């Protein structure tokens, strides 16, 4: 329980994380992984029946609006959902872009534009709910 006015930070994994990661790593070529991703997208239940594979663990993945709703139901107010990784994690040449000051500023500008837009924040593999007690 937080004191009145205290700030809550709640971290969550995006419901879309496995689908996006599967595109990048080509894990979506595996029918077993496709089944995992489809369930993630339907109800957020990430279930890996193959403990010997690198398809993460059993977990619950949130949609941004869903996390905001849970935070509100718990009695917190002024909830904002913020993407953690931002759009840069999708770029295979991120390191090269980050080293160039001009290109880094472009990355940061786009991240600032998108970080608090709830539908877009779901493109980050992780996001934070920030709210007040």
Is 79 domain-assigned? yes
Is 95 domain-assigned? yes
Is 108 domain-assigned? yes
The per-residue pLDDT for 67 is: 94
The per-residue pLDDT for 85 is: 84
Q: Which residues of the chain have pLDDT under 50?
A: none
3-state secondary structure 92-129: CCHHHHHHCHHHHHHHHHHHHHHCCCHHHHCCCCEEEE
Is 29 domain-assigned? yes
Phi, psi of 109, deg, nearest 5: -60, -45
Residue 117 C-alpha from the chain's centroid:
12
In the chain, the number of structural domains is: 1
Using the structure block, give the residue that is written with the tokens 């489809």.
Answer: 38
CATH number of the domain residue 107 falls in: 3.40.50.150
The per-residue pLDDT for 52 is: 63
Cα four-point dihedral sign 25, 61, 67, 8: negative
The per-residue pLDDT for 110 is: 86
The per-residue pLDDT for 71 is: 97
Residue 33 lies in domain: 7-132
- Of 69, 75, 58, 82, the closest CA to residue 130 belongs to 82
Is 1 domain-assigned? no
Is 2 domain-assigned? no
């Amino acid at each position: 329980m937080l004191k009145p006015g205290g700030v809550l930070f709640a971290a969550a994994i995006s419901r879309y994380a496995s689908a996006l990661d599967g595109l990048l790593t080509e894990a979506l070529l595996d029918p077993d992984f496709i089944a995992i991703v489809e369930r993630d997208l339907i109800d957020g239940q990430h279930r890996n029946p193959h403990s010997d594979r690198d398809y993460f663990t059993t977990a619950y993945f949130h949609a941004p609006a869903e996390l905001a709703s849970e935070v509100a139901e718990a009695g917190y107010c002024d909830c904002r959902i913020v993407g953690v990784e931002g759009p840069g994690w999708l770029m295979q040449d991120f390191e090269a872009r980050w080293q160039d000051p001009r290109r880094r500023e472009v990355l940061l500008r786009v991240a600032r534009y998108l970080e608090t837009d709830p539908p877009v924040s779901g493109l980050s593999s992780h996001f934070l709910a920030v709210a007040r007690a």
